[in-house]
Structure 1
Amino acid sequence: MYYIAHRLFAAHDRALAAQLAQRLADKSGPGKVFLPFCDTDEEDLVADLKGHRLFQLDRERLHTLDAMIAILHGPSLDDGVCMEIGYAHTLGIPVTVLSTDFQAYSLTGDGPRLEFPDPLVQTMASRIIRTPRMAPAQQAQGAPPAARFAAFHERNRLQTHAALDAALQVLGDAPAPDTGQSDRRPSGARTLFIEPSPYLPFPHALAEAAQASGYQVHTAERFTATDPITAAQRDLANASRATVLLADVSGPETPPGAALLIGAAAARRAHVGAYQTHTAFTHADGREPNWRNLMIQYACDTRLDSPQALASWLRP
């Protein structure tokens, strides 16, 4: 089963994912492709807690996959998609990331260039496909001035189709899922990994509260490392060994690294605490209010707003 992970709140995002789904279905058969929102009938689904039901359906589906294709664009990466990438990666499912973004990123002004705002994306992806440039201009000579808009649209359409074609080409060579990877709850020492928000100062008080509660604390290194890719690999290894993940989910949406690690922790059934001092809610017809993307909200065990709340949660 191929799973297409994509931002699904706007029509143009759903349309792009549907184009990829149709091309993939034409190649492999419609029964081999799962397209969220479409195949969960999200707009018409009725449930007492619709958001929680959607989370349950999505999590069940993630355990049945052969491969994931994740569409990521721009500096603000969809937190639900990132959560799904982390979940799939931890289950050993190959993840192909597709992007038409023409920007590169760095964590400092003169730092190494990265494919995405957070190097954890590159660490977890099996393959990355980028088509950053529009197709060449082919407007006919002497065409009326207004035709430039149609020509511009066509250049973008062809760029998108090139990206989809490239994704289909590599999927045939995708590795098989690594079913040897474990998704069991970690056991052993009381260890806690802190994933800070890149938008805010490091929460030293949280680290002190965890240490005072008897936990060995590891913190993310990649945001200040001279080699962020290597540091991201260390962060992933340390987070994967921790019995508790504490992720600061503050920001316009959950930061990409936090979302990736929340998905990874949920897949291996580790405890996950979301730290957020100020909340904002999203609302959709028939769905309960969500304080973050529903995939983040329901993958976490608790939401914390102070070091005191963390200490109370960690107390045996």
Structure 2
Amino acid sequence: MVYYVAHRLFASHDRALGARVAALLADKTGPDNVFLPFCDTDEEDLVAPVKGRRLFELDTERLATLTGMIALLHGPSLDDGVCMEIGYAAALGVPVTVLTTDFQTYDPNGTAPAWQFPDPLIETITGRVVRVPSLGPATPARTDRFEAFGHRNDTQLNQAIADGVAALLQQEHSTTPAVIRTDAVFVEPSPYAPDDALSDTVRATGRTAVPSRRLAATDPLTAAATDWEQAATAAMLVVDVSGPETPPGAAALIGAAAARRQPVVAYQPQPIYTHAHGREPNWRNLMIQYASAVHATTLDEVTDKVAA
């Protein structure tokens, strides 16, 4: 039995939040049954010839053996590493509960039914989203307004964690095998610059391009389910990973492809490298980088890989 806590790693408050979730989950399932990235990979002190790759290996070793996952997602810019891990778990049929205290929901035109996150694929592939969007009740006895406000946030967060852990422990494992279409290439363009360049590039090689449809669909949630199914049956994925972070749906699809052993071409015409102590430069979140077979910066490079 292994429960995985997927959370943003890059600041102390994010790691502290992950630790709070892991502690409650450990109370319910036992501390040896909970895996907390950064903590349990010893990321601060780990020394390895290629540290980022080693961290990817340690995390995916756990992802491949999960009983369940609880993932923390907040705000309009979702952590691409967490989204990749959600996709990986979901592709294996692992129960995933997403926990959020975000009070925003999203829709494409201001009038359509809202979905929970900026990309509807995230809630489509997860078993449960636990949203606790409101602060806890005010406590008039607290005279310092900042202390009172902090207490209301703590109350909200504690409720969200308790509800998220309870929801996770109620879910069951399930999966449906996919039948691969050997000629099909699933194409995920960037939501920041949606166009047909990647699909046209794939078609020019003689392969069948299957572009994602959810972000331009009148019913994005239904289209997201179709995108997920079509990506699962493709022989290869071509994914535009451009943006401040890899877009959340793209990251989830890359994680799913890694779990299924599907090759991924990650297209990023303007790479931005990140650096951390003791780690090699990464051109994207290391979970995205090492789950992708090829990093292409030009459409010609995409052509070469798809045609190979």
**What does residue 112 of structure 1 align with?**
113
8 A contact 1:210–1:314 mirrored in 2: yes
The residue that corresponds to 1:194 in the other structure is 187
- State the match for 1:159 in structure 2: 156
**Alignment map for 1:1-316 (pairs within 5 Å):** 1-140=2-141, 143=143, 147-175=144-172, 177-178=173-174, 181-182=176-177, 187-202=180-195, 204-316=196-308
RMSD: 1.4
Q: Give the CA deviation at 1:182.
A: 4.8
Post-superposition offset of 1:27: 1.8
Q: Shift in Å at residue 187 of structure 1?
A: 4.8
Aligned length: 307
CA distance in 1, matches of 2:21, 2:199: 43
**1:210 Cα shift?**
1.1
* Regions of 4+ moved over 4 Å: 180-183
8 Å CA contact 1:80, 1:259 repeated in 2 = yes
CA distance in structure 2 between the aligned counterparts of 1:206 and 1:174, rounded to whole angstroms: 38
Q: Distance in 2 between matches of 1:207 and 1:168?
A: 41
Amino acid at match of 1:162: Q
Q: Is the 8 A contact 1:91 1:182 kept in 2?
A: no
Three-state SS of the structure 2 residue aligned to 1:289 is coil
Residue 81 of structure 1 deviates from its aligned partner by: 0.3
- In the aligned structure 2, how far is the partner of 1:78 from the partner of 1:210? 28
Runs of at least 5 residues in structure 1 that lack an aligned partner in the other structure? none
Measured after TM superposition, the shift of residue 166 of structure 1 is 0.6
Deviation (angstroms), 1:205: 2.7
Report if aligned partners of 2:74, 2:101 keep a CA contact under 8 Å in 1. Answer: yes
Check whether the contact 2:96–2:128 (CA below 8 A) recurs between aligned residues.
yes
Partner Cα distance (1:201, 1:224) in 2: 9
Q: Measure the CA separation in 2 of the matches of 1:230 and 1:182.
A: 20
Q: Deviations over 1:122-151 (max 9, x none)?
A: 11110110100000111228x3xxx00000
Query: Aligned equivalents of 2:92 and 2:301: distance in 1?
Result: 31
CA deviation map 1:15-36 (0-9, x unaligned): 1110111111112111111111
**Residue 107 of structure 1 contacts residue 117 of structure 1 at CA under 8 Å; is this kept in 2?**
no
Query: Quick one: distance in 1 between partners of 2:282 and 2:137?
Result: 43
- With normalisation by structure 2, the TM-score equals 0.96
Q: Distance in 2 between matches of 1:61 and 1:309?
A: 32
Structure 1 counterpart of 2:269, which letter?
T
Tell me the CA shift for residue 263 of structure 1: 0.5
Alpha carbons 1:5, 1:84 under 8 Å: kept: yes
Equivalent pair of 1:192/1:215 in contact (CA under 8 Å): yes
